[in-house]
Structure 1
Amino acid sequence: MSGFSDLQVDEDTLAAARGGDPRAQEGIYRSFSGPVYSLALRLLGKRVQAEEVLQDTFVEILSKLGEYRGESPLGFWIRRITLNKCLMFIRSPWYSRSTPLDAMEDGLPADAYSPDRDSNADALINQMALERALACLSQTSRMVVWLHDVEGYTHTEIAAHLGKTNSFSKTRLARAHSQLQALLDDRSITEPCMQLLNNY
């Protein structure tokens, strides 16, 4: 499955989708639904929640496609919407009532992430181990790690998105890094977890 940055939509398809052409909109959905679902699953940890975010994300994409001006690649724009939907899901009153903050019932499926075919065997093993280690974290910890280490958010930005304090974000990140490192050490992975995360 390709990542957001690997996917492109030609200008004709994009223009047709903006104009409401169902086939063009379906083409965008087919191109980006896999990465949207995979990212939501990584962050939320539950298939049902990832499917809900997938649906909400594409409702927003299709309704706001006319506002997309091409200042950044379409994939980055869609990725940002996906992240925002995941954050909104975690902050929602329904979520906090229905899901204990640190609970996680579903692990990631084996096919949640497929690295490029050119990756060597060691990189594949490391990425699979990292996926499993991330799945062991609570949803909140996984979100903090993802936003900080992969998306480059500051602790102030993370705190604002989660409705928490800066110290909460810093503490949660430090604990999550320690937990990830311990999990990766148990799997005899020698590459530091921060370096592995930067491979995404």
Structure 2
Amino acid sequence: MALPNDRYYIDRIMEGDSQAFAPLVDRYKNLVYTLALRMVKNTEEAEEAAQDTFVKVFRSLEKFKGESKFSTWIYRIAYNTCLDRIKKHKSVPLAVAIDDYGTRQLRSTENVLDTLDDEERHRVMQECLQQLPGEDAFLLTLYYFEEQSLEEIAKVIGIKANNVKIKLFRCRKKLGEILRAKLEPEIISEYERERK
């Protein structure tokens, strides 16, 4: 039996049934925490940001008009909550040089990743995402792991879809540089030699 959609729970909450919020929290809590962790890079901060997100969602539920998916709306609140926490703590994001990292190196790194088994590839990707600046990891998570469209991500972070595409390209390059440094250089060199 399929679970009711988000609108069902939202309507019940709006009618005064505050207990109907629990299924929405259950549905989105893992992802909100993951997104928060990607941005703030600290488990305690991520837990607090996730809790703050759900408090804000509950308090402003009447503002949700249904113009976007409910998940997009929650991600936007999570994103803004994390940005506020980052600004409050004035943490400096990790800088990754991308100027010398071209499309060929990106493809080589992706192809090396393809040679790893699923579990190892997942582990490597998670470790490398943790090294990215928070906003970059957030964007890549929404696009690649949550399969959000460019338009949905644009609504989450408040920019145009074309700008999201540019940001995602830059994020991928940064991730590629981190992956390249993480993976054994011999493996990549060997692969590049075979491709010549």
CA 1:78–1:185: 2 relative to 1, 3 Å: farther
CA contact (8 A) 2:140 2:171 kept: no
CA contact (8 A) 1:134 1:180 kept: no
CA-CA distance at 1:185 after TM superposition: 4.7
**Which residue number in structure 2 is paired with residue 80 of structure 1?**
76
Q: Distance in 2 between matches of 1:184 and 1:90?
A: 30
**Which residue number in structure 2 is paired with residue 133 of structure 1?**
128
**Which residue number in structure 1 is paired with residue 26 of structure 2?**
30
CA contact (8 A) 2:53 2:77 kept: yes
Q: Is 1:181 the equivalent of 2:176?
A: no
CA-CA distance at 1:173 after TM superposition: 8.0
CA-CA distance at 1:61 after TM superposition: 0.4
- Comparing both chains, which one has the higher relative contact order based on Cα–Cα distances under 8 Å and sequence gaps of 6 or more? 2
AA aligned to 2:139 is L
AA aligned to 2:20 is A
Q: Is 1:52 the equivalent of 2:42?
A: no
Q: Distance in 2 between matches of 1:79 and 1:126?
A: 26
More helix by share: 2
**Deviation string, structure 1 residues 138-171 (Cα, Å, up to 9, x no partner):** xxx24235437855679xx89xxxxxxxxxxx99
CA-CA distance at 1:9 after TM superposition: 3.0
Structure 2 length-normalised TM? 0.59
CA 1:81–1:185: 2 relative to 1, 3 Å: farther
CA-CA distance at 1:29 after TM superposition: 1.2
CA-CA distance at 1:45 after TM superposition: 1.6
**What does 1:93-112 correspond to in 2, within 5 Å?**
95-96=89-90, 99=91, 102=94
CA contact (8 A) 1:18 1:66 kept: yes
CA-CA distance at 1:78 after TM superposition: 0.8
CA-CA distance at 1:180 after TM superposition: 3.3
Q: Is 1:147 the equivalent of 2:139?
A: yes
**Deviation string, structure 1 residues 54-95 (Cα, Å, up to 9, x no partner):** 111011101111111222221111112111111121122xx1
Q: Report SS of the residue matched to 2:56.
A: helix
Q: Distance in 2 between matches of 1:81 and 1:187?
A: 43
CA contact (8 A) 1:25 1:62 kept: yes
**Greater alpha carbon shift after TM alignment, 49-58 vs 174-183:** 174-183
CA-CA distance at 1:176 after TM superposition: 5.6
Q: Is 1:40 the equivalent of 2:36?
A: yes
Q: Distance in 2 between matches of 1:50 and 1:57?
A: 10
Unaligned runs of 5+ in 2: 95-115, 144-149, 159-168, 189-196
CA contact (8 A) 2:93 2:134 kept: no
Q: Is 1:68 the equivalent of 2:68?
A: no
CA-CA distance at 1:30 after TM superposition: 1.4
CA 1:150–1:61: 2 relative to 1, 3 Å: closer
User: Highest Rg: 1 or 2?
Assistant: 2
CA-CA distance at 1:10 after TM superposition: 4.3
AA aligned to 1:89 is R
RMSD of equivalent CA atoms? 3.7
